[in-house]
Amino acid sequence: MAKKKLVITEVENLFQNSSRKSMSTKCDMGFRFLEGKNLKLCNEWVESVDGVFKITYYDDFIIPETIPINGENYRVTEIGEFTIIKSMESLYIPESIAKIDGYAFNYIPNSPTTRIQVSENNKYFDSRDNCNAIIETKTDKLICEAITVSFPIL
């Protein structure tokens, strides 16, 4: 029996304190229900999803720690393959993320993410010494790093 697909209303810019709001971007993000009230963010064309929510963000994007669904808050604990395919100025990983699948961050070429930060309270991933990357804390494995583009002087 197929699961009913839920459509969640738009989530406004999650970096609400950001003073930089030069360009608004909208994207859809799928999710799957996990045990308890946990969610895995995922891309619809990679795996079947239990629902979709729409996000509006500006220059900065934060993975939400919780997402309200039908009046209940679900904790985002995993990020699946090819979930983040849009690029943004900066990306923030919250305390709640415990698992990130390979190829979770597949940015559009020539639109680099220039800042990456992981919550200081995350037990599984870090951005040690402001390294501008996501590091798996237990293994020291580089998961994703910020890309900066420099153009030649003509």
Per-residue model confidence as pLDDT tens digits over 91-146:
889 999 999 998 888 765 555 667 889 999 999 999 999 888 899 999 999 998 88
Determine, yes or no, domain membership for 112.
Answer: yes
- Note if the pTM is more than 0.85: no
The strand pair at 72-79 and 38-42 is best described as: parallel
Q: How far, in Å, CA of 46 to CA of 62, rounded?
A: 22
Q: How many domains would you assign to the chain?
A: 1
Determine, yes or no, domain membership for 153.
Answer: no
The strand pair at 125-126 and 133-136 is best described as: antiparallel
pLDDT digits (tens, 9 = 90+) for 55-105: 777 667 788 898 888 888 899 999 998 887 666 778 889 999 999 998 888
Determine, yes or no, domain membership for 154.
Answer: no
Closest Cα partner for 116 from 103, 129, 130?
130
pLDDT digits (tens, 9 = 90+) for 10-56: 555 444 444 455 566 777 788 899 999 999 999 887 778 888 887 77
Determine, yes or no, domain membership for 40.
Answer: yes
Q: Under a CB-based contact definition with an 8 Å cutoff, are residues 63 and 98 in contact?
A: no
Burial label for 83, CB within 10 Å (0-12, 13-18, 19+), is buried
Q: How far, in Å, CA of 77 to CA of 99, rounded?
A: 7
Instruction: At 77, list the tokens.
Output: 């604990």
Q: Under a CB-based contact definition with an 8 Å cutoff, are residues 51 and 8 in contact?
A: yes
Determine, yes or no, domain membership for 95.
Answer: yes
* Phi (first) and psi of residue 88, to 5 degrees: -155, 165
Q: How far, in Å, CA of 26 to CA of 72, rounded?
A: 23
| Residue numbers of the domain that contains 47 | 6-145
Strand partners, 125: 136
